[in-house]
Each structure stands twice: as structure tokens, then as C-alpha cells.
Amino acid sequence: MDDDNRISLKERIERLEDEGRGSDRKPFRVPFRGRVGRMKVRQGYITVVVIHDNKNIEFTKEKIVDGTIKLPKDNTYHAIDSNDVFFYKNKPMIILAKNKLNPYNPLKGEHETYGQKYIMARMEGDKISLKKSLGWGASVAGIVILGIIAYAFISNR
């Protein structure tokens, strides 16, 4: 007999659900030209996510020399600070806009509140839609109850 025949139906269903959930999402992988191995990290290389003016993204690996990197395609130099270095799977990475001198750091700067009104509107809309769905169900239930009461009065005569 197979091992599959010995397990319960509930375990089989759980196994199938687990397999189905895992296949929906693929993990993010840094493109090969931007991957930095252990030896390259020791030599001072870093993964650079370059954001071009047309909003396209390019992954490259560049060597840090005296706190700067050089992008060979554009022949531009950019200053690097240790606070701007992030880590993805224990590999160093920076986000660099091509036309900026320094890398982008989302952790720097003041807290921005310009999107707060949109977030609050979305939260209010979600809250109202929940109330609407509850009200719709209650009104249908009320109509059904009134129909039953009306039928009871009509059938007694």
C-alpha cells in the first residue's frame, strides 16, 4: 500500500492546500548581472539599483573606491555613505537615481503627511462599505419578516 492511502482525508486536503499556496508567489531574485557573491563583497563590491530618468530600473554591481562608485555606462561618479547601504539576503545594496549625486535613502527626511488625506478617505470608505453591506442584509431580513407576518394575517381570515 502507498503512504498516501494510509493518511486521512483531512491531511490530504491540508497537503494540497499547502502546495497550492506555495506556487502562487515567486520570491524576488536579483538579476544575475547585479548579484554580488561573498568574494566580491570582500573585495568591496555592492549591488546598485540604478533608477533612470524614464523610470526604468537597472541592477549592476560596482566597486566602492574611497566612498564613491562609478557607473561605467554613464561615466558618472556618485558618493556613498554607510547609512545609505541596505542589505538584501545579507548582500549590500544601494538605490541610486542616475541624475542624483547621492543614493536614495527612504529612512532619511521628515515624516511626510501629504498622502494622509487619501489614506483617511480610503479607511472611511472601507468602514462605510462594511456598514452598507450590514444594512442591506438587515433590510432584506426585515422585508422577509414583514412578509411572514403579513402572510400570517392574511391566512387567518
**Domain coverage including residue 151:** 112-157
pLDDT of amino acid 59: 93
92 lies in the same domain as 48: yes
CA 97 – CA 104 distance, rounded (Å): 7
What length is written for the chain? 157
**Which range has highest mean pLDDT (8-12, 83-87, 118-122, 131-135)?**
83-87
23 lies in a domain?
Answer: no
67: its cell numbers? 566612498
CA 78 – CA 97 distance, rounded (Å): 10
Residues facing residue 93 across a β-bridge = 47, 86
CA 59 – CA 34 distance, rounded (Å): 5
135: its cell numbers? 444594512
pLDDT band, very low/low/confident/very high, at 113 (cuts 50, 70, 90): low
pLDDT of amino acid 112: 66
pLDDT band, very low/low/confident/very high, at 94 (cuts 50, 70, 90): very high
Q: Which residue has the higher pLDDT, 61 or 74?
A: 61
Of 20-29, 89-98, 145-154, least confident by mean pLDDT is 20-29
Q: Which residue has the higher pLDDT, 31 or 38?
A: 38
Residue 12 CB contacts under 8 Å (≥ 6 apart), including other chains: 4
71 lies in the same domain as 122: no
**Which range has highest mean pLDDT (5-9, 122-126, 142-146)?**
142-146
Q: Which residue has the higher pLDDT, 140 or 39?
A: 39
145 lies in the same domain as 91: no
State residue 90 phi and psi, 5-degree precision: 60, 20
59 lies in the same domain as 93: yes
Within 10 angstroms of residue 70's Cβ, the number of other Cβ atoms is 13
67 lies in the same domain as 120: no
pLDDT of amino acid 60: 93
62 lies in a domain?
Answer: yes
18 lies in a domain?
Answer: no
Of 1-10, 71-80, 110-119, 134-143, least confident by mean pLDDT is 1-10
Whether 146 has a pLDDT exceeding 60, the answer reads yes
What's the structural domain count of the chain? 2
62 lies in the same domain as 119: no
Q: Let me know: does 71 contact 78? Beta carbons within 8 Å.
A: yes
- Rounded mean pLDDT of the chain? 81
38 lies in the same domain as 87: yes
pLDDT of amino acid 1: 46
134 lies in the same domain as 87: no
Domain boundary among 49, 72, 97: 97
86 lies in the same domain as 130: no
CA 96 – CA 52 distance, rounded (Å): 9
